Amino acid sequence: MTESMEPLYLEDLQIGQRFISGSYVMEAARIKEFAAEFDPQPFHLDESAAQASLFKGLAASGWHTASVAMRLLVTSGLRIANGIVGFGGEIAWPRPTRPGDILHLESEIVESTPSRSKPQQGIVTVRSTMLNQDGEAVYMLTAKLLVFRRPL
Amino acid sequence: MTESMEPLYLEDLQIGQRFISGSYVMEAARIKEFAAEFDPQPFHLDESAAQASLFKGLAASGWHTASVAMRLLVTSGLRIANGIVGFGGEIAWPRPTRPGDILHLESEIVESTPSRSKPQQGIVTVRSTMLNQDGEAVYMLTAKLLVFRRPL
């Protein structure tokens, strides 16, 4: 595991390098507020309706979970010099996030490709898994990030 | 294009069927608030810092854009009887979302696979593209959704 205190450049990121974030507690009130704004479905908004749904209890919107993962990555997961800027990637929610869940993110560099046309930059693929307090994976993101070389 | 007023079941969704959402205006204040909570990076928080960044102007967090896309899908894009519940998918942000952008979502059914083990359900793959007021794609999501058959 790397303590990522100094901003990192392309040449600092090696395949297999791992980064562990701090933790974040999912609050029921915030789950409902987020859902009211961005994902207004009964199983994200109301405990009784959620109990009767396929989730069998209140569950955070997957986009809320994804946004919390970004917060963890930006604030304590991985410090890239030019910021964390992604082109896209693959996303999965193997199980729901619940009120009271204590979440953290474990990230690993899985690929690093220098740009052919732009010698000062490259694409780094980072695979992140969000785990709850029971060590269960609730979210996975494999993202392609734009990363610059250290300026000369 | 299908007017999706009635809740849809697995047998209602055909490959090639398209759904067009209503529109959503990205506000600068909400871009900054969302970023302060979930993606606190200078180019999402402050116009001057953003001007000096690779975005050359304030840009919404990609997760804010993704969350707005979910709102459009849920409220006006696609009405699935059991709700829109995704296992995961592929995501891309080909260009940034800016303050004042008027966004809408165009979605298409690209695959539908009945479950082998659970006859009452299937997985439907939906490809959604978010376009701005100039018709430029700012976000794409290809998502695998859990969809149930109409109850007998």
Q: Where are the alpha helices (DSSP H) in chain B?
A: 28-38, 42-45, 47-51, 62-72
A41 close to B (CB below 8 A): yes
Q: What are phi and psi of B25, to 5 degrees?
A: -100, 125
Tokens representing residue B81 in the block? 């009887």
Average pLDDT, chain A: 94
Return the pLDDT at B5.
Answer: 66
Digit-coded pLDDT (tens) for A59-100: 999 999 999 999 999 999 788 998 999 999 999 999 999 999
Say yes or no to pLDDT of B68 above 70. Answer: yes
Digit-coded pLDDT (tens) for A95-120: 999 999 999 999 999 999 999 999 89
Nearest to B103 by CA among B19, B25, B50, B29: B25
Tokens representing residue A24 in the block? 């974040």
Q: Are A58 and A31 in contact (CB under 8 A)?
A: yes
Q: Are B84 and B141 in contact (CB under 8 A)?
A: no
Q: Which residues of A touch B89 (CB under 8 A)?
A: 90-91
Nearest to A148 by CA among A85, A98, A106, A89: A85
Q: Which residues of B touch A88 (CB under 8 A)?
A: 90-93, 140
Q: What is the mean pLDDT of residues A34-60?
A: 96
> In whole angstroms, what is the distance from residue A86 CA to residue B95 CA?
10
> Residue B41 and residue A146: Cβ atoms within 8 Å?
no
A139 close to B (CB below 8 A): no
Say yes or no to pLDDT of A32 above 80. Answer: yes
Query: pLDDT band at A57, cuts 50/70/90?
Result: very high
Show the CA angle centred on residue A129, arms to residues A54 and A72, nearest 5°: 100
Say yes or no to pLDDT of B3 above 70. Answer: no
Q: What is the mean pLDDT of residues B108-112?
A: 97
- Say how many C-beta atoms besides its own lie within 10 A of residue B26's C-beta: 22
> In whole angstroms, what is the distance from residue B94 CA to residue B62 CA?
10
Say yes or no to pLDDT of B1 above 90. Answer: no
Return the pLDDT at A94.
Answer: 97
Say yes or no to pLDDT of A1 above 70. Answer: no
What Cα–Cα distance (Å) separates residue B97 from each residue in A137, B28, B31, B57, B101?
30, 10, 9, 10, 7
Q: Are B60 and B26 in contact (CB under 8 A)?
A: yes
> Residue A88 and residue B88: Cβ atoms within 8 Å?
no
Query: pLDDT band at A5, cuts 50/70/90?
Result: low
Return the pLDDT at B50.
Answer: 95
Weakest-pLDDT range from A129-143, B67-81, B123-137: B67-81
Q: What is the DSSP string of A53-102?
A: STTSS----HHHHHHHHHHHIIIII--BTT---EEEEEEE-SS---TT-E
Nearest to A85 by CA among A115, A122, A140: A122
Say yes or no to pLDDT of B133 above 80. Answer: yes
Average pLDDT, chain B: 94
Q: Are B141 and B91 in contact (CB under 8 A)?
A: yes
Of all residues in chain A, the one with the smallest CA distance to B85 is A62
**What is the 8-class DSSP label of residue A75?**
I
- In angstroms and rounded to an integer, the radius of gyration of the C-alpha atoms of chain A is 17
B49 close to A (CB below 8 A): no
> In whole angstroms, what is the distance from residue A24 CA to residue A77 CA?
12
Say yes or no to pLDDT of B40 above 80. Answer: yes
Tokens representing residue A83 in the block? 């910021």
Return the pLDDT at A126.
Answer: 97
Q: Which residues of A touch B62 (CB under 8 A)?
A: 86
Residues facing B19 on adjacent strands: B107
Task: Check if the interface score ipTM surpasses 0.90.
Answer: yes
